[in-house]
């Protein structure tokens, strides 16, 4: 449970990812078994300035529920104002990003930057909890660097001020996305006898086996999945099938991949217009068609075509050329 929201026994959560977890992609992941989806992270400063890109990210749809809107910032007044704006969009959950390692976010003391000031992190969370009736959750990292990991204490303090769930990426800010995620400190949070809110693991959940390991070996309450789902919304279904049966299900066929890529592009165009729809869907194509030999010319056409028709034509060509291709 996240607050009073039933998310299942071991929920799979779609991680908030900039320019990735938009409504079109969230819809595809939801269809394939994602239990909870999160928006791209949204700047509190951008929201209160009514910046078009920030406001657009507030778009959520009934078919996505339960859905969380994630915001980031480090200024109390701005964060509280943004909570009011977010609440008006009707999400099920408000999530605070205390984990983004990107320099332009960290340099303002937001995202993972706040890991240098745990007292501020806790006080911001407490103020936001008091400012909304919606459940407030947190996504963060193990710490700023290896020498400042205090995630057991941090998680307990966040829980004590009303945080309803915590998702922890198993890397420090200093690691960015390098090296391997360390799930042991996340398990220590879960095993803290004072903890009673859900503890979700994030980082390197890239196979169904890894998701099972997170559940059965580390004892966590759910898995937040990011990079493994990009261009591959079927990952959620595959994890659930493996958890239920201990066996891998068949990968999606070429027809299913082309159909999903087409829908994805069309939904993106419908939501954000042709130029952005075409541009921001490009990052998914490598994974939609991963493993096909001699695929580069087709991929290049997909990622260099500025007009939707060029991309749709490339999908047709892929189906004509590789329609019978058997994925391992």
Name the pLDDT band for 164 (thresholds 50, 70, 90): very high
Q: DSSP states of 141-206 as a string?
A: ES-SSGGG--HHHHHHHHHHTT---EEEESS-TTTTT-S----HHHHHHHH-TT--S-EEEES---
Name the pLDDT band for 146 (thresholds 50, 70, 90): confident
For the chain, domains (ranges, CATH) are: 12-245 (3.20.20.70), 254-322 (1.10.1200)
Q: For the segment 165-209, what is each residue's pLDDT rounded down to a tens digit?
A: 999 999 988 888 888 999 999 999 999 999 999 999 999 999 999
CB atoms within 10 A of CB 303: 16
**Of the listed 29, 100, 163, 249, which one is catalytic?**
100
CA dist 196 and 213 (Å) reads 21
pLDDT for res 178: 87
pTM: 0.92
* Percent over 90 (pLDDT), the chain: 73
**Average pLDDT, stretch 255-282?**
94
The DSSP symbol for 5 reads: B
Question: Which residue is associated with the tokens 């900039």?
Answer: 18
Q: Coil, strand, or helix at residue 237?
A: helix
**Average pLDDT, stretch 59-74?**
91
Is 249 known to be catalytic?
no
pLDDT for res 213: 97
């Amino acid at each position: 449970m996240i607050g009073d929201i039933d998310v299942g026994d071991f929920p799979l959560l779609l991680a908030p990812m900039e320019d990735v977890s938009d409504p079109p992609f969230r819809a595809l992941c939801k269809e394939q078994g994602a239990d909870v989806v999160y928006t791209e992270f949204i700047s509190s400063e951008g929201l209160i300035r009514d910046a078009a890109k920030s406001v657009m990210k507030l778009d959520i749809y009934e078919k996505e529920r339960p859905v969380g809107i994630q915001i980031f910032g480090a200024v109390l007044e701005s964060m509280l104002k943004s909570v009011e704006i977010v609440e008006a969009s009707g999400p099920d959950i408000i999530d605070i990003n205390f984990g983004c390692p990107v320099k332009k976010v960290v340099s303002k003391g937001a995202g993972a930057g706040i890991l240098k000031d745990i007292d501020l992190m806790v006080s911001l969370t407490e103020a936001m909890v008091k400012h909304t009736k919606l459940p407030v959750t947190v996504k963060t990292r193990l710490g700023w660097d290896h020498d400042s990991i205090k995630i057991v204490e941090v998680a307990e303090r966040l829980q004590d001020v009303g945080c309803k769930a915590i998702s922890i990426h198993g890397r420090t800010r200093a690691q960015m996305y390098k090296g391997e995620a360390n799930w042991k400190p996340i398990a220590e949070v879960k095993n803290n006898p004072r903890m009673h809110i859900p503890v979700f693991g994030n980082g390197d959940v890239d196979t169904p086996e890894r998701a099972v390991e997170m559940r059965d070996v580390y004892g966590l309450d759910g898995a937040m999945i990011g990079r493994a789902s990009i261009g591959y919304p079927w990952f959620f279904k595959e994890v659930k099938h493996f958890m239920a049966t201990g066996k891998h299900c068949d990968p999606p066929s070429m027809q299913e991949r082309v159909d999903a890529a087409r829908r994805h592009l069309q939904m993106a165009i419908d939501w954000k217009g042709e130029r952005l729809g075409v541009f921001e869907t490009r990052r998914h194509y490598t994974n939609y068609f991963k493993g096909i030999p001699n695929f580069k010319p087709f991929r290049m056409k997909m990622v260099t075509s500025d007009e939707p028709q060029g991309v749709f034509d490339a999908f047709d060509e892929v189906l004509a050329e590789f329609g019978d291709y058997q994925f391992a």
